[in-house]
Structure 1
């Protein structure tokens, strides 16, 4: 332990603890901009500076580990010199910043804006002089980049490189001309970006944002010739409430459904139904591969960011991918085939909207082989954040809404479906049904497979199922996927079934979820808190296995036949091909 003083008060902290963490542990918040725990400790922004006994200058608290040499030293966290330094740093950042706050996607949730308010930055001290101007990069399908709002914190670089192992963005040029760009100043669409959106959730300002497709939804809702349906992903209900003051990890499924109805959608469906269909098809596909000598390990295909990563970085694993469409696409496909026929509606007159925790879904809806009825399975995909905008624009008082349920049959799902949003959820749901199929023990077959739960980036487990020993793995975060697949390729790991999610922790931590500031994400495990919401919904559901769903049974009996049938393949399965950017 190291004995120190913070603002004249004595504390004992563990050696190696940074000043910033030591202060946090003792109830003192030091503001930060560039620091993201574990991935971006670079001390670059100088917002977190403090005064310290014996130091010749102000110290960046995020990168200063306390040692025995600091015994007895006093740390000042808000002295006049510290506050003036932080204020001047913000003034300098603003001197080369686009001040178009009212039109910014992050207005009201911008960390730079909040710090300026906190430190009283209300003047234009350094506004005169040269200013950089950049063209906005709209090239990508899922997001845009506006370097006029970039503060060079490098948090996006860390997310892309260290979390996802991709590294398609970095610092170009030097000094005042430094910009965060792609190599050779390429547009983002010209790189092997996988559309995961983790850079957006890492960004403290509006320099990075998803493309806003809410106007397309409003236009569709206003068109009397269109039947506009919406589906919501499992993870959305675990994050949406945060935007309306609910504690993190509060499931708000009922109010979400009520809000969507009041926005004007003709039918409110649940992607959980598509998730149950996915399990029916995926478990059948897995058992078919195991028993008939198919390509193993089989790898899940629910995450479009992971699929794009595979096609660009590991094309040799394309034969291993499950041919199942994602739950979003399955729900859209069933909507425009089975439901359209049942309701007597021309699929061309249906506008299928999805609300997703994922920016890569904006890319996925335009992929080839995703048009079961001859028209796109899903027409518009919006993020959780975009749904928040729509609810606010419509003047809905979210917390005052009643709890309602989605429309049958495509609005019903089992507990197995809802846990899709957490890493390990797809694997657990698949195991629940696969074990039942292999053993036939409908009543006694296991429900919970807790070995595959948790936020660890790589998890492995082994299960004895009948005469088979099934080795499974669960991976989240593409840097972990790169590491694990390399081990598989080199023969260092043996697996039969692998779940891979692009975003660390799974969809609950998706690039389209409600953004939490660094003050929260650095000290709270957002992934675990949101996952708790999904597991609580699973626990409360009377039906916890996909094959138990009466609505899924009805679709197979009256339309699809059986899992793996010809018509099921035509509607619920897809294909992949190596990216032109693959090595």
Structure 2
């Protein structure tokens, strides 16, 4: 990802929009006030008469207005229409979910109609005597014009000329949003501007972070969520395992939890808890179904990966695990304890917003926001995380549950559980991160090359730590999440009192009977007794 981990002007503008929309929710007392102030947001972000980034200050404000519209959860307006934000904001003024597809949108006024995939001859061309670029072209698209190589419209993008040039004078480039998409969901309108083909899109959001003009953006529901908070609703934050380090090197995980509590959340829960629950469930499914009922099993934690299977490999979709994603499993944990509470998932993911629109999931997850959106909320609320205390325990998850955020972490957690529960079973693992790699792996599975495997699919490079809603470079995030996982209070999910409940106890007992052993998580020793598991659960209830 080109801009990932860098504080570019695009990142700054996005966060300013989130901050202003959050301020609108937090610091107004009525719809009339919102209507009065919302049209001022483009002028606050782009003040004065001099443009900051483009040729016209009016174009810049028009783009900010559309970004604000999306941040309010509203759809874009048609390019030729003029609609003030104040005319539409009434629909956004709600504590209920108003989000509707499409979630990922190209803002026409911001798109620069970048050239599509092509090869280009640079000034490095020396018009050499050999002319290997001309010789290797299979369609005669390369010729010498005005003492340098020229590539015409007959080019079939085979790349042979680029490889043959001794001066590396030929470069290939594509519009960055399309290059970031591994399933060719970015297409062109007649005017050359990009648009998202919704029939192909799996809402991974890679185009959002890779467009160097900031022309692609996603809808948000921070406005509705904050209105619910202000209205006195009981909101519970469930935060994805990739949260550590996302708010700066001086901010501890405990301070992030404290910040959410100060914002008004009743409780903050690690989604790694749901990962523990899911990983235990998936062991059971693997043992029961692979290879007796199905040739392999795909993980289910990444909605975009699941959508790739459903859209492009429908015959394989039935082999994706039926387990709830960690988000849903954690939300169910919260709802079981407070049916009146509203659950807010906070994470790196845009596709989770789409997952939360699913009829079954909506009963558990009320809002979904990203780390980047939360950063804007903290600024609007005047919360400085580094100044908060750290007197909070974060003890909801095991090592494996926290490792779900990293590519390979899901499969490894399930594998470790399998080895613990069923030591005689030998599980084979395959993993893929990025849409293109996911497609390749599913092609192998379709051809029978991955029978007997557990296949982990992640749409984002690096896993969830590389998601479009993150704030941290992926490599650095991997280091921080790995260290945080190592310090988890439980080595295995079966030690986790929040995860070991009735259903898991029954599965544990079944596995114990089948194996003829009582295997326990602590240091891999076979020392556990049934009452140990019950004791752990009872302690959790206390």
**TM-score range for the pair, normalised by the shorter chain length:** 0.5 to 0.7
Of 317, 339, 351, the match for 1:360: 351
Answer whether contact 2:302 2:459 (CA < 8 A) is retained.
yes
Q: How does 1:98-497 map to 2 (within 5 A)?
A: 98-100=59-61, 103=64, 140-153=101-114, 161-173=178-190, 177-182=191-196, 190-224=198-232, 226-241=233-248, 246=249, 252-290=252-290, 293-337=292-336, 339-340=337-338, 347=339, 349-370=340-361, 376-405=363-392, 412-439=396-423, 466=424, 468-497=425-454
Q: How does 1:6-17 map to 2 (within 5 A)?
A: none
Separation in 1, partners of 2:412, 2:222: 34
SS of the equivalent of 1:418 reads helix
Paired residue total:
382
Q: In the alignment, what sits opposite 1:562?
A: 506
TM-fit CA distance, 1:106: 8.2
The two structures have a TM-score, normalised by structure 2, of 0.64
Separation in 1, partners of 2:334, 2:175: 39
User: Which digits, 9 at most, give the CA deviation of each residue in 1:216-255, with x for residues without a partner?
Assistant: 111111223x3211110011224332xxxx3xxx874112
Answer whether contact 2:177 2:211 (CA < 8 A) is retained.
no
Instruction: Quote the RMSD (CA, aligned, Å).
Output: 3.3
Answer whether contact 1:155 1:203 (CA < 8 A) is retained.
no
TM-fit CA distance, 1:95: 4.9
Separation in 1, partners of 2:320, 2:181: 19
Answer whether contact 2:178 2:187 (CA < 8 A) is retained.
no
The two structures have a TM-score, normalised by structure 1, of 0.60
Q: Tell me, which stretches of 5 or more residues in structure 1 are unaligned?
A: 1-30, 34-89, 108-131, 183-187, 341-346, 440-465, 517-525, 566-583
Shift of the 399–96 alpha-carbon distance from structure 1 to 2, 3 Å rule, reads: closer
Answer whether contact 1:233 1:270 (CA < 8 A) is retained.
yes
Shift of the 279–172 alpha-carbon distance from structure 1 to 2, 3 Å rule, reads: same
Answer whether contact 1:97 1:149 (CA < 8 A) is retained.
no
TM-fit CA distance, 1:392: 0.6
Q: In the alignment, what sits opposite 1:120?
A: none
TM-fit CA distance, 1:101: 8.1
TM-fit CA distance, 1:390: 0.8
User: Which digits, 9 at most, give the CA deviation of each residue in 1:399-452, with x for residues without a partner?
Assistant: 222224367xxx61111111111100101111111100012xxxxxxxxxxxxx
Shift of the 135–537 alpha-carbon distance from structure 1 to 2, 3 Å rule, reads: farther
User: Which digits, 9 at most, give the CA deviation of each residue in 1:293-317, with x for residues without a partner?
Assistant: 1213100000011112211111111
Answer whether contact 1:143 1:209 (CA < 8 A) is retained.
yes
Runs of 4+ in 1 over 6 A off after TM superposition: 104-107, 154-157
TM-fit CA distance, 1:488: 1.9
Answer whether contact 1:281 1:564 (CA < 8 A) is retained.
no
Q: In the alignment, what sits opposite 1:128?
A: none
Q: Tell me, which stretches of 5 or more residues in structure 2 are unaligned?
A: 1-7, 11-50, 69-78, 84-98, 118-173, 510-542
Separation in 2, partners of 1:562, 1:489: 34
TM-fit CA distance, 1:135: 8.6
TM-fit CA distance, 1:542: 4.0
Q: In the alignment, what sits opposite 1:502?
A: 459
Answer whether contact 2:106 2:194 (CA < 8 A) is retained.
no
TM-fit CA distance, 1:92: 10
